[in-house]
């Protein structure tokens, strides 16, 4: 029972990182595609204003996932960290380069410096979620066996499921960011910018839908057990929720319902993520169930107790931070910055 509670808490943390961290990375994707320094200035200013207060905060969820896995599921952590150390190292380098470039671009006065740091920030925003997606694909396709570095160091993450998962991760990040930025632009009174991100959200949403369909075809050929669970097993209702929420999101974007679409867009992503988790449960690695990999009850009890106490401090603080920078004044500040 305790190991199942821990796994649920772990998946909630992963969900938060996918939603908040994903939208954060997606802002960098649109920074990359904004255009030249003058034409893309309004879009980059909105991206910078929207993620500026929370760009480091979002990584709290990644740290949370790593620590909970390490503490509560040590054999799983050891196997993943050792077999997938190449993509995980690239993820770490991407996060570091992205954060440094974001800070240095703001402080730079020379145009060439702004372009250099801006390109680093944008490129890292694409590379990092891609390699995070390859890690998820490696686990989903059963290419991470138990043991220290027991899996192939290259083909474990360089395979059809991992590559389509990496592309899907980038697409989801771009889609979430476009949805959130559309509302931010509207709140700031910039109708033209809201329309620009609305078009991007529609295109990204259609692309994510196409990638999801392609991903199912890849799973059919490369990870048949997970495919069966998603399409005819217990994960099917969640997959259906994801599809319906995705279609509803496109309809709401078309009708310019920018507040409601935030909910349905998040629901589409959560349905897909939890569908994968439920489809793979209780297997974490080939031949390893959650009960087999979990730490002792004493460790789990102490960990869950510490997490409960920490949540009393962390969650209200995060809510206050997000709420503070989502008020109307925040949008007005972005508008003033762009002019």
Please give the chain's pLDDT, 339 residues, in tens: 899 999 999 999 999 999 988 888 998 899 888 877 777 788 888 888 777 656 667 888 999 999 999 999 999 999 999 999 999 999 999 999 988 888 888 777 787 788 899 889 889 999 999 999 999 999 999 999 999 999 999 999 999 999 999 999 999 999 999 999 998 888 888 899 999 999 999 999 999 999 999 999 999 999 898 999 888 888 999 999 999 999 999 999 999 999 999 999 999 999 999 999 999 998 999 999 999 999 999 999 999 999 999 889 888 888 887 777 766 544 444 444 444
- Alpha helices (runs of H) in the chain, residue ranges in sequence order: 2-16, 22-32, 41-51, 59-72, 74-83, 85-107, 111-140, 160-187, 191-222, 224-232, 236-254, 260-280, 290-293, 297-324, 328-338
Task: Give the burial string for 166-188 (b: 16+ CB within 10 Å, else e).
Answer: bbbbbbbbbbbbbbbbbbbbbbb
Gap between the Cα atoms of 252 and 316, Å rounded: 30
What pLDDT was estimated at residue 15? 95
What pLDDT was estimated at residue 332? 46
Name the residue among 46, 111, 118 with its Cα closest to residue 339. Answer: 46
Gap between the Cα atoms of 206 and 199, Å rounded: 11
What pLDDT was estimated at residue 324? 76
What pLDDT was estimated at residue 327? 64
What pLDDT was estimated at residue 207? 95
- Residue keyed to tokens 């590379």: 127
Report residue 151 as tokens. Answer: 């899996």
What pLDDT was estimated at residue 55? 64
What pLDDT was estimated at residue 184? 86
What pLDDT was estimated at residue 1? 83
What pLDDT was estimated at residue 329? 45
Name the residue among 241, 238, 310 with its Cα closest to residue 276. Answer: 238
Gap between the Cα atoms of 15 and 23, Å rounded: 12
- Provide the 3-class DSSP secondary structure of residue 334: helix
What pLDDT was estimated at residue 335? 45
Residues in Cβ contact with 324 at an 8 Å cutoff, skipping those fewer than 6 apart: 53, 330
Whether the CB-CB separation of 46 and 22 falls below 8 Å is answered with no
Whether the CB-CB separation of 204 and 171 falls below 8 Å is answered with yes
What pLDDT was estimated at residue 333? 43
Task: Give the burial string for 104-136 (b: 16+ CB within 10 Å, else e).
Answer: bbeebeeeeebeebbebbbbbbbbbbbbbbbbb
pTM of the model: 0.90
Tens of pLDDT, residues 84-128: 999 999 999 999 998 888 888 877 778 778 889 988 988 999 999
């Amino acid at each position: 029972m305790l190991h199942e509670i821990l796994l649920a808490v772990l998946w909630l943390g992963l969900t938060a990182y996918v939603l908040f961290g994903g939208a954060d990375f997606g802002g960098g994707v649109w920074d990359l595609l904004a255009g030249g320094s003058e034409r893309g200035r309004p879009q980059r200013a909105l991206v910078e204003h929207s993620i500026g207060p929370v760009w480091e905060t979002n990584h709290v969820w990644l740290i949370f996932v790593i620590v909970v896995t390490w503490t509560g599921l040590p054999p799983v952590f050891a196997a993943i960290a050792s077999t997938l150390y190449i993509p995980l190292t690239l993820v770490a380098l991407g996060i570091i380069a992205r954060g440094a470039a974001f800070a240095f671009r703001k402080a730079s006065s020379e145009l060439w410096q702004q372009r250099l740091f801006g390109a680093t920030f944008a490129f890292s925003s694409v590379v990092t979620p891609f390699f995070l997606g390859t890690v998820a694909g490696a686990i989903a396709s059963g290419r991470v066996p138990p043991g220290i570095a027991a899996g192939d160091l290259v083909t474990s993450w360089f395979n059809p499921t991992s590559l389509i998962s990496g592309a899907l991760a980038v697409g989801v990040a771009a889609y979430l960011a476009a949805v959130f930025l559309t509302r931010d632009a509207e709140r700031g009174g910039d109708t033209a910018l809201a329309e620009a991100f609305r078009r991007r959200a529609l295109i990204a949403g259609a692309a994510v839908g196409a990638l999801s369909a392609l991903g199912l075809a890849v799973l059919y050929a490369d990870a048949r057990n997970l495919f069966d669970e998603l399409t005819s097993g217990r994960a099917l209702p969640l997959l259906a929720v994801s599809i319906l929420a995705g279609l509803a999101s496109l309809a709401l974007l078309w009708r310019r319902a920018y507040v409601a679409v935030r909910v349905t867009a998040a629901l589409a992503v959560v349905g897909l993520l939890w569908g994968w988790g439920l489809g793979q449960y209780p297997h974490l690695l080939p031949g390893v169930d959650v009960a087999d990999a979990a730490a002792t009850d004493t460790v789990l009890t102490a960990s869950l107790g510490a997490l409960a106490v920490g949540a009393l401090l962390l969650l209200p603080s995060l809510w206050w931070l997000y709420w503070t920078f989502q008020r109307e004044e925040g949008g007005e500040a972005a508008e003033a910055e762009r002019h």
